[in-house]
Amino acid sequence: MKHAFHTLVLSTALVTASLGAQTQQPAQPAQPAQQKPTTADPYANNPDAGKTQFPLAAPAGKDSGAKQGGPAGASNQGAFDPAKWKYGTAFDAPAGSKLWNPVRLKLQQGGKVTGGTLFGASDPSTYCAMANAGYDFIWTEMQHGQTDWQNVARMWRTCPHAKAVPGVRVAYTDEREIQHALDAGALVVVVPTVDTVEEAIEARNWAYFPPLGRRSNGGGQAFDAGMWGTVPGGYRATANDNIVLILMIETLEGLKNADEIAKVPGVSALFAASGDLGNFSGYRQGTPDYERAINIVHDATLKAGVRLCGPFAWRDRPDFTCFQAGSETAAIARGVAAELGNLANTQGQVEVGPLAVKKPQ
C-alpha cells in the first residue's frame, strides 16, 4: 500500500511538471546588439580603437624624408615638386562615361540652350514652376538679386530633377561664391565682368575639381543621392565633364582680352553682355561701335571653338547658341496674356475708390 502511494505521488509530480512546461513561454532569441549610427569619427564604431595600423606612416618622432623621396611603390619619386606631380587615377571617370547634364550635351551638339531668369523669388514653388516650364537651365540671379545661398539651396533641392537644371550667375569671380553654387548643385555657372585671363583662370579653378581646377572636395547637397550623388560614374569623378562655365564679357578691358579669355581650358562659352557692353562703351545696340564690340566677342569664340551666349532676343543672330531669357515676373505676365487673349486687361472701370480710373483732365 505504501509503495502504491509513493508511485501515485511521483506520477502526479511528473504530470504537474509536464503541464507547467507546456504553459511556459518559449525562450526568446537573443536580440542583436543595436548598431551604432555611422559618424565621421573613424574610431566611433571601432571595437579596437587605438589599434589601427598605418604601415606607411612616418615613424614616431622621426623625420620620414617624404619631402626628398616617395615610399616604395609611389608614382612620384625624387624631391617633391608640385609642377612635376603625376596626378593619380583615384577620381578618373569610368571608361565610356556618358554626359548626364543635358545642358552640356546640348551645347556640345550645337543646340540652342535657354536659361530662364529667377531674379527675385525665393520660394520653391515659383522656382519649380520655372524649372518645369521648358527652359534648359534656370539662371538664378545672385549678382543683382537679393536672394541668399540658403534660399537658393532650398529651392534647388525641392525639385532637383526638373526639366531645367540648376544654374546661377554668381556675384563675382570668387572661391566662396562659385563653390557655394556648385556644392548646392549648380550645373551651369555664369561669371560676370571677366576682364582678364587671370580672372578667367580664377573662375575656372573654382569651378572644376583637380587636376583641371582647384575646387575643394568639401561635400554639400550636390553629392546627395537626391541631387547628383547617384549619377553614373559618381559625382566627383564625372563633375568636371558635366559642369558648364560661362564667362561674361562686359567691359572694354574684357573686349581687349576676349581672345585669350575664350582659350582658357574649361571655359564652355562667352556671354556678350548686351546691356553692359552698351553701358561701358557708351553706344546703343544697332550703332556701329556697339556692334563692333559684340562682334569682338563673337570672333573670340569662333577662334577658341567655344559657344557664344547672349540675350534671348538674339536667338536668330548668327552663331549665338545659348541665351538668357526673361525673369519669373515677365514669364508670369506673358503666360497670363497668352492664356487670356483678348480678355487680358479688361478690368471694370470703377469711378470711385483707390481703384478708380482717373479721367484725363
Question: Amino acid identity, residue 45?
Answer: N
- DSSP per residue, 169-188: E-SSS-HHHHHHHHHTT-SE
Angle separating helix axes 149-158 and 124-131, nearest 10 degrees: 50
Pairwise CA distance, residues 292 & 168, whole Å: 28
Give φ, ψ of 30 to 5 degrees. -65, 130
Paired strand residues for 327: 117
Give yes or no: 6 in active site.
no
Q: Taking Cα atoms as reference points, which of 132, 251, 269, 111 lies closest to residue 194?
A: 251
Catalytic residue among 3, 6, 144, 180: 144
Q: Where are the alpha helices (DSSP H) in the chain?
A: 2-23, 102-108, 124-131, 149-158, 175-183, 197-207, 235-242, 252-256, 258-262, 274-281, 288-304, 328-340
DSSP-assigned letter for residue 223: G
Write out the catalytic residue numbers: 144
